Structure formats: C-alpha cells, structure tokens
Structure 1
C-alpha cells in the first residue's frame, strides 16, 4: 500500500478573518481560512486550498495586478511570497510587527504595508531571481494611531492611508515637489476605507460612524512635479546632463520625466484639497457601525458593510442609493468587488460565511458557510463522491469531494450532532444527536423522512447502520443502553442492556449481522442481530474503550482505549491478536495554562477515533493531538505520522512554553489581549450600556474528532479544529516504475505502436509507469481490437489498467472508449479476479465512483433532451390539428404533417433506444 498522502483540500470552513480578493480575471475569490488560503473558482464551481500554511492565522492578503503573485501576512507579521501559478512559496519575510493591510501599486512595481502608525513602501519582487525579494524603499510617518487602509492612484504616483486617529494622509510615491504629504480631517471616528477617484487625485474617506467625505484636489495627476535632487545626487545628475549636452548638437530644453522645467510661479503652487460634501449612511441603533467598504472606480460603485449584517450599494459622487440588503445578523468583516464590477464578495467572520452577490440580477453566485462550532463526525458515501459532516451546532452538511462545496444543509437537530453515517445505497444519511433523536435524511428529496426516538429522553453518542440498511442502532450516553430500530417502519425493535458505562462507539460487521459496541466500562460486546439480539461475546479490555471499528472484510476488530493503546481482536474466537502502544506517537502539545509539561500531559491523552484503510492492511488513528498516525496492522509499526496543522493561533501546539509570557504576577495568557480591537471585547465604563461583556476570545485546542478513509483508498479525511482536511495520494509527482530494465524506453513504446504491436506497447508503458505514455498507448488501440488485447493481458497488468481507467474517468472526454475497455476487462478477467476481491475492492470502488458520476450527468442531459423533444412534438401536433381545423380541404398538407409526425416519433424512439443503450453500457 502507498502511504505518500499529501494535503489536498480544506473543506468545512470558507472564511475566518482577513480581507477577500478577486483574481484579475474576476472569476475567482481568494479567501483566508485560518492559516491557509482557499481559491474559490466561481466559473467552474470548484474550491481549492493552496498547499501552504503560515504559522499563525492569516491577517491580510495582497494580490499583484497581474494575478501571478500574492503576499500572505499572518498575525505575527511573517509574510509568504507565493506564486499562484505554480502554487508554491517563493520567499519568506518578517515585517517585525503586526500588519493591518497590504496593497500593490497598479503598475506592480511597488507595494505598501501599514504597520502600527507608519506606512512602509517596498519594491515589489521582480520577475528575475533576486537575493532579497523585499527591499524597503521609504517609510512614511504622520498618523498618531494605527493605520487601517490603503489605496493607490491609477498611475501609481500617490497613495492614501487611513488611520484610527480619524485622519487621512495622502503621500507621494516619488519625491514630488508640490506634494510631500497632505493630512485630511473632518471625521469623528476611525477611518475604515479611503479611495481615489479614477485618473484623479480626488478621494473619498469613510469612517466607522457611517460618514463619507468627498475631497476635491485642485491639481491633476499630471501636475505633480519631481523635486530637484540635492547634494551628491544633484552633482551626479549635473555631470550626466553635461555629457549628454556635449554629445548632442544644438540646444534643447531641460526636461524632467518628459515635462518642461516648471516656472517660478508654478513651483510656488502646492497641491490643495477641499471638502466638497459630507454624507451620512442610514444607521439603525448604536451598534450599527460601518465595518467594511469597497469601491469600483470604473462604474463608480461604492459597497459598504455594517456590523448588523446590512450592506448598501451607492453610486458616487452623487451618493445615490442603488440597493440595500441584510445578509445575516453578524458583522460584515470584508468586502471585495471583481474587475468587471458585477460580483461583490462578503465575508462574515462571526458565522464563517462567504457570499458572492451579483447586484444587477440580485442573485447569489456563491453562498457557503461552514459549521459554526467544531465538527464532530464525518462519513464517506459508498462511491466516495460525497462527505457528510456533523457539528456541535446541530447542523448536518453534505460536501461534494470534486467541487469542495456544500450543497445541502440539514438543520432539524436542535443540539449537537454526535454521529453520522451513510447506508449501503448511499442515498440515506443517518445521524444521532444529543437532542435525543436519531434522524434519517433522503438525498433524493433532501428531507428528513424518519425520526427515531427512545421511550424516555436520552442523549445519543453514536450511531450505526447495518450493511442492508434495514437496522439502525444508537448508543446512549446517560442510560448505558443500545437502541435498535427498523428503517422501514421506524419502530423500536429492542433495547440492548448490559453495559455499565456510556456507549462510546458502535460498528456493524460489514459481512455479518453482528454489532460491536464499545463502552467506558472497559468492555466491547458483540451482539448477534439474528439471534434475538443476544450478547454473542464480551471482550474485556484493560481500560475504557473510546472507539471501535471492523476491518472491511469483517475478520478483525480494532479498539482504541483510554491508555493510548490500540488492540486488535479476532471477533470469531474472541481472542486478541495484537496491540499497539501509541502514547509516544501522539506527541500532544502543552496548553498555555497547563501547570505540567507536554511530556506528562501526554499520559492523559489517547486515540479517540479509528479507521481501517480500504485494503485493511493499515489503520488510521487520531485524538487529542495535531498528529494522525498510520499504523501497519500485521507488523504493528508506525508507517507515517501526518501533521494536520502548524497554526500557533491554536492551543496545545507547542511542546514548550514561552518563558517571556511568565511574569511574577502570573501567565500573560490570562489577560485578554484583544481588548479594544474592532472584533475584540470592549470593556465599557460604569453606566455605559454599549458593548457585549459576554464575548471573550479564546484559543481553541487542536484535536482530531473523526477519521475516515475514502472507499476508493485514494484519500482520507479528518475533522479537526481547523475544519475538514483531505489528504490524497499525489500520483502526478511520483515516478513509480514497475519491473523496469534498460531495454524499455518511450521510443521503444512508440515503435511498437507504429508496428501495431499494441499489447507489447501497453505492457512496456505500464512498466515505465508514465501516465501520458500509458494514455498514448491505450488510445492508439482501435476499438474493434480492444477485446483481443484485453484477453492477452497478464493478470498483474489488469489491476494496473483498471486503476488507470478509474483515474481517467475523472478527467478524460473519451467516455465510450474507456467504458469499452472497462467492460471487456471485467468480462474476460472477472472470474480470475474474484480470488483477490479484497485487494481489488478499492480499485473497483474508485472505478464505480467515476462511472456513477458520468451516469448522473449523462442521465440528466438525456432526460432534458427527451423532454424537450416531447414538448416540441406536442407543439407541432397542436399546430397541425389547428391547421387541419382551419383548412380541412388540404389533404396533401395533412398527409405531409402526418408523415412529419411519424418521422419525429421514430426519431424520438431511436433517441430513447440510444439513451437506454448508453445507460446499460455505463451500468455494465
């Protein structure tokens, strides 16, 4: 088994905090999610998380004008220069302080960073290789409080900076003679955003209390004059000019940047600003502060977001209200507009919500929201296309693994969801909750069609469904009982008693009707569902059982206990076959308020979730740690340990505490550092009713709550504090030859294809194991010879070819060609492969996943075409009947209409037959 799993995608969380950005083409949104960055492709309906991570939560993201580079800055001031083309980190840098915002100039040559009460301008990293990608150009002083926002002029000559001291500062990017800096007042609260007008030095400033000031400049951008150099720069410039004058014939006028030297009167004139107007947004109550704003210069569209979840669209400079809408009851943290001005992105950090709104049609382009609280459990669908998650917020969400989007959310539970699972058909989800109900949801009609309850109220901690989908069982947390219901009738069939502690896990044997239940009473009980639900065996453990799972073939049982051990049992003979000590592999970190070290703290940690791989050779284990361990079952050794997160904004991440946080008065972690920030708590004075005293900031602890392998075996998913993390096999970057020798080269493969020796070419291509070469060899085979070549392939290469076909269904357009290959291989080699059914099960499920996805897409398309043709035929018949009634004497016309209808019905019949044949071929 390959275990080179790499981070693939992050689902379940779409926005945490920071600024949103649209790509230069306007089709994708870049959203910071914790310490990672996710790109949402709105055109292709797909989300992708970049394979990089910062050490703290991302604070701001700056995007270059060409969309190739991005600068990602975290809360600690560390920055990553990222190439969005190759999705890799190019450079690391530290700004030595907390950065509030970052912005590239429109020409892409410089970028400005606001840090503290200063603004720093850097030379942007060029396209050539440099020793230091970030070179500081100038540091601008002026504001007395923290700077908040930046905006550039279109020609990159000036930029404006807003501050919390209620002032706005205009700075020159060059050494202008008539503009060094200009300070603007007029506001009574902190500046939230400031924007330049298109091709002008006129600007708008917006404050937190909902005031908009319009500032007019008396000088156009072309009127800015370069300041004459002094000192050694002047001497050097004068020497260069004298040399040029000697070389050139004739006298010419001295110029600076193509402009004539200004006269004495022009030098005296400085840039001046005057306030044209001041507008106020409609406010509803004292808590409705303006929190975010964005401005599109070409269409003059201003978008403002408020703390109450309302946003306004205004047209400037007339300040005409275009639209107003409430999207939630939480504050809008970030607003962005795409390049065309059609789509507006909103981020709400309180709900973890990301919205993209098309304001002209007043419709949602994207509406995604993660779990409000942490995820607790997850389950893969049998074909691997969907993942269902349950959270502490009582919501059940279903995610598409291909697109990365949630397409349905069930909110029927009134308390935290503790367990989720799919039935064998993949169309029913069964969930358990602390609200005392077990619910079944239909993925065809998206409704809750069954609700299972107990005779007296109890809290359910886990749920399981047998392989037939007829029996549903759930374990109680307070009554120590297991309840069994019928899926068809919804009736309670039996209550299994015997455990003396809360039920921590349930699992059905995939091959038999045997239920395994784990409990805190240090036992695992096996119940036979056919024999009147009596206890078949009782497995005695050395500590409390926390998780239990069966191997995919049902021949082995794995149990995780409180003493950090994983024990393996033979369920038929009730004998222990092995154990793994995992205490040293967990390596849990030390919390900020822990009085003991991480080494001693690890003694109380244990694995809380287990999962077998698709082939049953290895087991995944996770718990109160940032690590997930992959063990080999037979050898009982650790094969690989995956680090889920390196985010120091989470608790229990570091092994040693920072001694600088320990003072004689106690730990600095006890003090809320976020007091007074825009999203932190604000402790009011006595008698002041403003502010929420119940809101506190805390660092969530890193933990893994659930693990599941995909049925295809190509990836596995984990629910953690960061979200739903997916790790997959990156086969594209891996060169893995098979029985290779010096006589096998790409040239020999192509030579065999030219000689029409297709079998030899395919075998050599598989021995080289290069995907493009295998694809070239397969697609060169005529479809009439596929059956002969399939029969001549050795059995070892049949499995490799099936794996290649399964992966090709995800990307290739040659659907019918690869379906013929699949059908011939399974028909000719099916009896031989039955002996190795357990090892081939992941490959077959991977194959079924790709075919099922195409079946769903093509079936919808065929149904749509069939209904459209039926509608067209009905309309043509109606018109023919009407024409006959109006002119009954035209028999020739009637005959021609009848002939046309007959031919149309025949063509419809042929289309339906072709569609049925296509579905039959795909099903086989």
Structure 2
C-alpha cells in the first residue's frame, strides 16, 4: 500500500472572510477559505482548493489582469505571491500591518496596497527584471485614519482611496502637473466604497451609513498633464533609463509655492448628486450599515450589501433601483461582479455561504453553504462517490467527491449531529443527534422517510447499521443503553443494557452477526443482536473507550482509549493481539492562555477516532491535535504523520512558548492592552461586553478511509479535508530484472506476443507503457490473454482497468477487459475479495459515474433532436400553408419550398453545432 497521500481538496467550507474574485474569463470564482484559496469552476461545476497555505487566515486577495498570478494577504500582513498556473507560492512579503485592500492596475504594471493610513504602490511582479518581485514604486500619504478601499482609473493613470476619516482622495499614479492629490469630504461615516466611471475621472463614493455622493470632474483622463521638472531638478535627480526612483513623501505629495503657482489648471471636482439608501430600504426598515460594495464600470451597475443580509442593485448615475433582495439575516462580507456584468458573487462569513447570482434572469448559478459550526462526523458511500457529514448546526450534508459540491442538505434535526452512516446500497443515509432521534434520509427523493425514537427522551451519541441494512443501532449518552430498531418498520426491537457509562462508539462486524460497543466505563461489549442473548463477551480496557471499529473483513477489532492507546482484539477469542502507544505521536501543542508546557498538556490528549484502511493493513487515527497518524497493524508502528494545518489563527498550534508574546504581567493573550477601558471578563470581546470571543482550537473529530483506498477524509476545524494518493507517481516496478526494459517490452509487443508483453509491462509498472501495450492488443485476443493470466497479474490488471476507465475516451474497450476479468476470474476474485476490495470499489465507482454522465448526454441529445425535428415540421407546414393561401403556381411553390429548405438547413446547422459542442 502506498502512503504518498497529499492534500487534494477542502469541502464543507466555501467562504470564511476576505474578498471574492472572478477570473478574467468570468467562469471561476476565487474564495478565501481560512488560510487557503478555493477555485470554484462555474462552467465545469467543480471546485478545487489550492495547495497553498498562509500563516494565518487570508483577509484579501488580488488577481492580475492576465489571470496568471494572484496576491493573498493574511491577517498579520504576510503576502503570498502565487501562480494560478502552477498552483505554487512564488514569493512571500511581509507588510507588518493588517491590509484592507489590494488591487492590480488595469494595465497590470502596478498594484496598490492600503496599509494603515498610507497607500503603497508596487511594480507588478514579472513586469520588470528584478530579483525581488515586490519592488516599491511610491508611497502616498494624506489620510488621517486607516484606508479601507481603493479603485483604479481605466487607463491606470490615477487611483482613489477611501478612508475611515470619512474622506476620499484621488492620487496620480504618476507625477502630473494638474493632479497631485485631491481630497473630497461630504460624508459623516467611514467610506465603504469608492469607484471611478469607465474612461473618466468621475467618482462615486459610498459611506457605511448609506449615503452616496456623485462627483463630476472637469478634466478628462486625457487632460492629465505629465509633470515636467525644471532643468536644475533633473540634474540633481538622475534616474537610470528604464527605472523609477522611490521618492520621499515630501516629493510625492508636496510641492513648492512656485510650482503650485504654475498649476493654474488644476483639476476640480464638483458634487452633482447626493443619494441615500433610506429611501430604497423604505421608511419602516431599521438602520443597517453597508458592509460591502461592487461597481461594474461597463454596465454602470452598483451593488451594495448590508449588515442584515439585504443587497441592492442600482443603475448609475441616476441611482435607479433594479433589484432589492435578501440573502439571509447575516452580514454580506464581500461582493464581486464578473467581467461581463451578468454574474454577481456574494460571500457571507457568518453562515459560511457563497452565492453566484445571475441578476438578469434572477437565478442562482452557484449556491453553496458549509457547516457554520463544527463538523463532527463523516462517512463515505460504499462506492466512494459521495461523502455525508454532520455538524453542530444540526444539518446533514451530502457532498460529491468528484465536483466538491454539496448537492443536498437535510435540516430536520434540532440539535448537533453525532453520527452518520450509509446503508449497503448507498441510497440511504442515517444520522443520530442529541435531539433524541435517529433519522433516515432517501437520496433519491431527498426526504426524511423514517424517524427512530426511544421510549423516553435521550441523547444519542453514536450510530451504526448492520451489513444487510435491516438493523439500526444507536447508543445513548445519558441512559447508557443501546437501542435496536428495524429499518423496514421503524419499530424498536430491543434495548441493550449493561454499560455503566455513556456509550461512545458502535460498530457492526461486516462478516459476522456481531455488534461491538465501547463505553466510558472502560469496557467493550460484543452483542449478538439477532439471537437476543445479551452481551456475548466483555473486553476490559485500561481506560475509557473513545472509539471502536471492525476490520473490513471482520477478523479484528481496534479500540481507542483515553490513555492514548490503540489495542487490537480478536472478536472470536476475545483476546488482545496487539497494541500501539500513541501518546508521543499525537503531537505536543499548547493554547495561548495555558500556563503549562506543551508536553504537559499532551497528557490529556488521545485518539478520538480510528478507522481501518480499505485493505485492513493499516489504521488511521486522530484526535484533539493537528496531526493524523497512519499505523501499520502488523508491525504496530507509525508509518506516516500528516499535519493538517499550519494556520496560526487557530488555538493549540504552538508547540513552544513564544517569548515575543510574554510581558512582565504574563502572556499577552491574558493582558488587556486597550487603554481607557475596564478590564473585561475572560472570554468577553474587548469593547463589546455582550459578545463572546474565542479562538477556535484545531482538532480532528473524525477520519474515514475511502472504500477505493485512494483517499481519506478528516473533519477538522478548517472543514472537511480530503487527502488522496499522488497521481504523478509513475515508476513503481514489481519483480524487476535486468532485461525488462521499455524497448524489450515494445519489441515483444511488435512480435505479437501480447500476453508476455502485458506481463512485462506490469512488472515494469510504467503507466504509459501499460496503456500502450493494452491498447495495441486486438479485441479477439482479450479473452484468451485474460484466461491464461496468473492471479497476481489479474489483480494488477483489475486495478489498472478500474483507474483507466475514469479518464479514458475508449470506454467500450476497457469495459470489454473488465467484463472478461469478472466473468473468467469471478470465483477466484471472490475468494480473495478482501485484498482487491479497493480496486473493485474503484471500478464500480468509475463505471457508475461514466454511465450517469453518458445517460445525461444521451438524454440531452435525444431531446435536442426531437426539438429540431418538431421545429422542421412546423416550418415546412407553415411554408406550405403560406404557399397555398397566396395561390402560387408550381414553380413559385418549388422556389418557396427550396427557400424553406435552405432556411431549415441553416437552422439545423446552427443547432447541430450546439449539439456537437455538447457531445
């Protein structure tokens, strides 16, 4: 088994904080998710989280006009220059202060950053031959408070900056004789947005209290005159050709009196209109601040989002209301409009919601929302195509593993979800909750068709279902009992009593009629549910049991306990066969407010969740730390450790004490540094005594291996992390000898020795060579070759065919191979099904997905052809009727019919092009 698992995607969290961005083609949205960035491809209906991690949560991002590079800035001011082509970090730069806005100029030569009360303009990376990509061009001063927003003119000659001092300032990006800096007031609250008109210096400014000013400039963009320095100054400041000097603030903003006297034609702004949003919201609506704005220069559409979830669309400059809608009751944190102006993206940080809305048709292009509270549990469907998650928000969400999107959400539960599980066919997902119910949801009709309850109210902490799908079991947190229901009738069959503490975990044996239950009373009980004989065996554990799970073949039971040990038991003999000490593998970490060392705090940590790999050779374990461990069961040793996050915005990330955060009064996290305010209670946010404030702690609540063995998932504080095998690993030889080379394999294939060439290619195990050999074998020879193939090569061929079907265009060819493999080696494959279970499930997953995709395509083509045929009949009938009514002679009728046929041919050509594009 390979262990080259790498981070591949992040589900369950679509937006956290920061600004959204559209790519230049308008088909994808970039959304900051914690310290990562997710790209939502709206055209192909896929999502991908980049393998780029910041040191803290990302607060703002900027994309270059060519769409190749983007800049992501974290909470502490660390900037990452990343490539969207290679998905890598190219350079890092630290601003040493929080950044509110970053934006590239339209020509792509510069980008501006709002830092504190200044604006820094840099040369764009890659546009000049510099070793350091972040080359400061000029620093602009003027605002008396923090700068909030900025916007560039269409020709990149000037930019405007809105500030918390309620003023908006226009700066020249280059030195102009009639524009240095122009300040505009007229607002009584901080500026939420400032935008230039297209190809103009006219300006719109919006304040947070809902006031909009329209400013008209008396000078066009072409009227900005470059500043010509006197001859003496040119001699004093010599700049090499092709470079620009970093000027001092005095030279940037201030000029001498003689120079000001020469500026007789300075640009002037005049306020031509003043609008307020109170009229649009109505007199009865309460006051709500503006939290985000966006302006599309070409269509003159202004979108404004409010704190209560309402957003407006206005046509500028007349301020005509187009739409007034509400997303939710949470604040809209970010708004972005794509290049064509058709789609508008909204981000709500409170709900973790991302919406893309087409305002002309008033339809959703994308509507995704993750769990806005912690995720507790995750489970793969039997074919590996879907993932079900449950969270503290009482919702059950089902995700598509290939697209990364949630396609159904069940909200019937009234409390936190504690367990989710699929039935054997994958058509039903069951969930247990602290509200005292176990619910079954149908994934075909998307409804809650069965609800299981106990005779008296109790909180369910765990859930399982037997392999046949007939028996549902749930453990109680408060009554220490296990309830058994019938899946068909929903009737309570039995109540299993015997535990003396809360039941923490349940697991059914895949091969035997045996139920294992773990409890905080330091025991694991094995029940024979079908014979109603009570507990068959009781396994005594040295500490409280946190998790139990059976091996996929049912021959072994893994038990995780509070003393950070994983013990392995034989369920038939009730005998312990091994154990793993994992205290030192969990990892040391300390919280900000803890006064003990990280090593001391590790004594209270253990593996809260354990699961077996698809082949049963390894176990995956995780708990209240940032590490996920893979252990070998046979050798009882650690194979690999994964660090799920390096986000310092979470608590419990630091291993050592940071002396920079220590003062004479103790840790800086325990000291109230705000002056003039009373010291607040612990856990209360400074300045607001009614709101609680805490840093989320990094932890892993559940891990699950994919049935295909190619990936595993973990529910963490960041979201649902998916780790999969690296597909770029191409050379992994098997039973290699000196004479087995690619040239020898190809020569054997050319001689017509197909069976030998196939086995040699598998021994060399180079994917491109295997593909070349297989696709050169004639179809009539496939049956004979597979019949004489040894079992060890049958398994390898099965795994390769299962993987190849996912991406190949020769679907029928590989299905012939798969059919012959299953028909000729079916009985022997069944005998060793446990070792090849991952390959079989991968084959099932890919064949099912191809069947669904082709079925949708065939249905679409069938309906398109029916539409074209009906349209042709209607057209021919109409032409015939017109010809008969007008009394045309035979020649004219023939001419008119030929014209109709030409029209039909042109119509069919255009529609057939659309049909071919879909195909």
Q: 1:219-260 CA distances to partner (integer Å, 9 max, x unpaired)?
A: 11122222223578723999999xxxxxxxxxxxxxxxxxxx
Summarize the Cα distance change of 1:725–1:142 in structure 2 as closer, same or farther, 3 Å threshold: same
Distance 2:553 2:479 in 1: 32
Tell me how far 1:765 sits from its aligned partner: 3.4
Shift of 1:682: 8.8
1:778 aligned to which of 774, 797, 804 = 774
Are the aligned partners of 1:287 and 1:308 in contact in 2 as well (CA < 8 Å)? no
Match of 2:526 in 1: 526
**2:377–2:701: 8 Å Cα contact kept in structure 1?**
yes
- 1:269 and 2:265 matched: yes
Counterpart of 1:31 in 2: which secondary structure?
A: strand
* Pairwise CA distance, 1:768: 3.8
Classify 1:240/1:823 alpha carbon distance in 2 versus 1 (closer, same or farther; 3 Å).
closer
Counterpart-to-counterpart distance in 2, 1:152 and 1:240: 27
1:816 paired residue number: 812
The answer to whether 1:364 aligns with 2:360 is no
- Aligned equivalent of 1:797: 793
Aligned to 1:354: 354
Determine helix, strand or coil for the equivalent of 1:839: coil
SS of the residue 1:268 aligns to? coil
Q: Distance in 1 between matches of 2:231 and 2:532?
A: 100
What is residue 78 of structure 1 aligned with on the other side?
A: 78
Q: Could you tell me how far 1:318 is from its partner in structure 2? A: 1.2
Q: Which residue of 2 aligns with 1:38?
A: 38
Q: Distance in 2 between matches of 1:748 and 1:224?
A: 72
Alpha-carbon distance in 2 for matches of 1:287, 1:708: 47
Q: Which stretch shifts more, 845-854 or 331-340?
A: 845-854
Partner SS, residue 771 of structure 2: helix
Partner of 1:27: 27
Match of 2:725 in 1: 729
Distance 2:855 2:266 in 1: 71
Partner of 1:424: 424
Q: Residue 198 of structure 1 corresponds to which residue in structure 2?
A: 198
- Aligned equivalents of 1:405 and 1:546: distance in 2? 31
Partner of 1:544: 544
> Are the counterparts in 2 of residues 45 and 403 from structure 1 also a CA contact under 8 Å?
yes
Q: Matched residues in 1 for 2:333 and 2:533: separation? A: 55
Shift of 1:799: 1.9
Deviates more, 1:458-467 or 1:807-816: 807-816
Aligned equivalent of 1:855: 851
| C-alpha distance after superposition, 1:82-112 (max 9, x if no partner) | 1100101111111121111101111111111
Structure 2 CA distance for partners of 1:741 and 1:233, relative to 1, 3 Å = farther
- From the superposition, tell whether residues 230 and 563 of structure 1 become closer, same or farther in structure 2 (CA, over 3 Å): farther
Q: CA deviation at 1:802?
A: 1.7
CA distance in 1 between counterparts of 2:121 and 2:230 reads: 22
TM-score, normalised to structure 2's length? Answer: 0.88
On the 8 A contact 1:614/1:710 being kept in 2, the answer is: yes
1:150-549 matches, cutoff 5 A: 150-229=150-229, 234-235=234-235, 268-282=264-278, 283=281, 285=285, 287-549=287-549
Moved more, 837-846 or 356-365: 837-846
**What is the alpha-carbon distance in structure 2 between the residues aligned to residue 645 and residue 170 of structure 1?**
41
Check whether the contact 1:287–1:307 (CA below 8 A) recurs between aligned residues.
no
> Mean Cα displacement is larger for which, 735-744 or 142-151?
735-744
Query: Paired residue for 1:916?
Result: none
2:330/2:350 contact within 8 Å kept:
yes
What does residue range 441-840 of structure 1 map to in structure 2 within 5 Å? 441-670=441-670, 693-741=689-737, 743-840=739-836
**TM-fit CA distance, 1:180:** 1.1
Distance change >3 Å, CA 18–CA 240, structure 1 → 2: closer
Residues 501, 361 of structure 1: alpha-carbon distance in 2 compared, 3 angstrom cutoff: same
The aligned residue for residue 841 of structure 1 is: 837
User: How far apart in 2 are the matches of 1:549 and 1:693?
Assistant: 45
Partner of 1:468: helix, strand, or coil? coil
Deviation at 1:865, TM superposition (A): 7.1
Is the 1:150–1:160 contact (alpha carbons within 8 Å) kept by the matching residues of 2? yes
What does the per-residue CA deviation read over 1:738-765, in whole Å, with 9 as the maximum and x for residues that have no partner?
3445544444444444444433443343
Q: CA deviation at 1:773?
A: 3.0
Residues 685, 693 of structure 2: 8 Å contact kept: no
Q: Kindly state the Cα deviation for residue 792 of structure 1 after the two structures are TM-superposed.
A: 4.1
Q: Distance in 2 between matches of 1:792 and 1:128?
A: 64
Q: Describe the shift of the 1:827–1:144 C-alpha distance in structure 2 as closer, same or farther (beyond 3 A).
A: same
CA 1:159–1:674: 2 relative to 1, 3 Å: farther
Range with greater deviation from structure 2 (14-23 or 808-817): 808-817
Q: Distance in 2 between matches of 1:232 and 1:572?
A: 97
Higher mean displacement: 488-497 or 753-762: 753-762
Question: Equivalents in 2 of 1:238, 1:442: separation in Å?
Answer: 76
- My pick for the range that moved more, 652-661 or 813-822, is 652-661
Alpha-carbon distance change, 603 to 721 in structure 1, aligned in 2, over 3 angstroms: same
Across the aligned residues of Structure 1 and Structure 2, the Cα RMSD in angstroms comes to 2.8
Contact 2:13 2:370 in 1 (8 A): yes
Contact 1:588 1:626 in 2 (8 A): no
Kept in 1: contact 2:805–2:846 (CA 8 A): yes
C-alpha distance in 1, partners of 2:192/2:853? 47
Listed one character per residue, the Cα deviations across residues 585-614 of structure 1 (whole Å, up to 9, x for unaligned) are 111410111121111110011110000000
Q: Hey, what does 1:56 align to over in structure 2? A: 56
How far the C-alpha of 1:212 sits from its partner, in A, is 1.1
Residues 391-414 of structure 1 deviation map (CA, whole Å, 9 limit, x = unaligned): 001000000000000000000000
Provide the rounded CA distance (Å) in 2 between the counterparts of 1:828 and 1:806. 17
8 Å Cα contact 2:730/2:765 also seen in 1: no
Question: Structure 2 CA distance, aligned partners of 1:109 and 1:729?
Answer: 39
- Label 1:64 to 1:861 Cα distance change in 2 as closer, same or farther (>3 A): closer
Q: 1:452 to 1:223 in 2, by over 3 A?
A: same
TM-score (norm 1): 0.88
Residue 125 (structure 1) aligns with: 125
Cα deviation, residue 272, structure 1: 1.5
8 Å Cα contact 2:730-2:766 kept in structure 1: no
